[in-house]
Amino acid sequence: MKIEPAVKKETGIIACGVTVMSAVMVGIFAIAGHFDMTVLWGAVLGTALAIGNFFLMGLGVQAAADKMNGVQMPPLDEEDQEEVARQEEEATMFFQGKSAVPTSPEAQSAKRLVQLSYHGRMLLCILVLVLALVIPVFNIMTAAIPLLFPRLIIMGQGVVQKVKEGK
Amino acid sequence: MLELAIGIILGGCALGAGCAMIAGIGPGIGEGNAVAKACEAIGRQPECKGSVTTTMLMGCAVAETTGLYALVIAILLIFVAPKLLVGVLMGALGL
């Protein structure tokens, strides 16, 4: 399977960000006087897990998008647009499950694929974190914390983009 | 009495971990819905596939963090908290 440039680019950004943030985390542990080899190995494991998890998610999303190859859906007509606007308005007030129902079988199949991918990745994370707990070589805290870094990096990207737009 | 206290600690930790993992259900449903809608958008405008995929990827990553928070909390509650809390209890009782 050919990996799309968008997936490669985003995985690269996340990989760099997670590596830098993990290094900072290990530095903070060292400054706090809690540094030992388990902290380092835990950080390595957590970083690899965070990057691998994001990459697998990218592959899942790409596979879902590829399901639409050759599928031509009709553009929204005026009535559809009014319906979408109405649903968006309702969704802002409270959760509307109705508005999220896919209208094509390919989209339904993509939805199932991503949900399956999510549960698979979650099981992988559980397995790796339990292994980090059981094997005394790894520190569980430094193995678990890097999993939360991708969100911080994405938020940081958003801030940087806004600052650039403001200039 | 001590056994009862330890039992309550262990039971509370297990219940807490179970409750925390309820948060793991939402991201799965949300990611699926978001991707399905994004796929429909790609079907309508195939020329936007790259930008839609990038946005979809970012959205999925942000949504997934909620599940990961829940997972980390649940694992800490199951494997780390009981030992810590039983230690605190023993310390308080001077045992």
What are the residues whose beta carbons fall under 8 Å from the beta carbon of A52, sequence distance 6 or more? A124
Mean pLDDT of chain A: 85
Taking an 8 Å cut-off on Cβ atoms, the answer to whether B61 and A125 are in contact is no
In whole angstroms, give the CA distance from residue B3 to residue A132: 29
In whole angstroms, give the CA distance from residue B42 to residue A37: 47
Taking an 8 Å cut-off on Cβ atoms, the answer to whether A57 and B60 are in contact is yes
Q: Residue A158 has what pLDDT?
A: 87
A53, closest residue in chain B (CA to CA): B61
Q: Residue A54 has what pLDDT?
A: 94
Which phi and psi angles does A33 have, rounded to 5°?
80, 20
Mean pLDDT of A113-140: 91
Q: Which two tokens stand for residue A60?
A: 């899942």
A chain contacts of residue B62, beta-carbon cutoff 8 Å = 151, 154
Which residue among B28, B39, B54 places its CB closest to the CB of A68?
B39
Burial profile A122-158: b = 16 or more Cβ within 10 angstroms, e = fewer: beebeebbeebbeeeebbbbbbbbbbbbbbebbeeee
pTM over 0.80? The answer is: yes
pLDDT tens for A82-114 read 777 776 666 655 554 455 555 678 888 888 899
User: Is A144 in contact with A49 (CB distance < 8 Å)?
Assistant: no
Which residue among B35, B44, B68 places its CB closest to the CB of A114?
B35
Does the ipTM exceed 0.85? no
pLDDT tens for B13-71 read 999 999 999 988 888 888 888 888 888 888 888 888 888 888 888 889 888 888 988 99
pLDDT tens for A131-163 read 998 899 999 889 999 999 999 999 998 898 888
Q: Tokens 């897990």 sit at which residue?
A: A49
In whole angstroms, give the CA distance from residue A37 to residue A28: 14
A120, closest residue in chain B (CA to CA): B28
Which residue among B49, B65, B72 places its CB closest to the CB of A151?
B65
Q: Residue B42 has what pLDDT?
A: 86
H-state helical runs in B1-95? 2-20, 25-44, 49-75, 81-93
Q: Residue A103 has what pLDDT?
A: 67
- On the question of pLDDT at B92 being above 70, the answer is yes
Domains and CATH numbers, chain B: 23-93 (1.20.20.10)
- Smallest CA–CA separation between A111 and chain B, in Å? 4
pLDDT tens for A27-81 read 999 999 988 999 999 999 999 999 999 999 999 999 988 887 777 776 667 777 7
In whole angstroms, give the CA distance from residue A43 to residue A50: 10
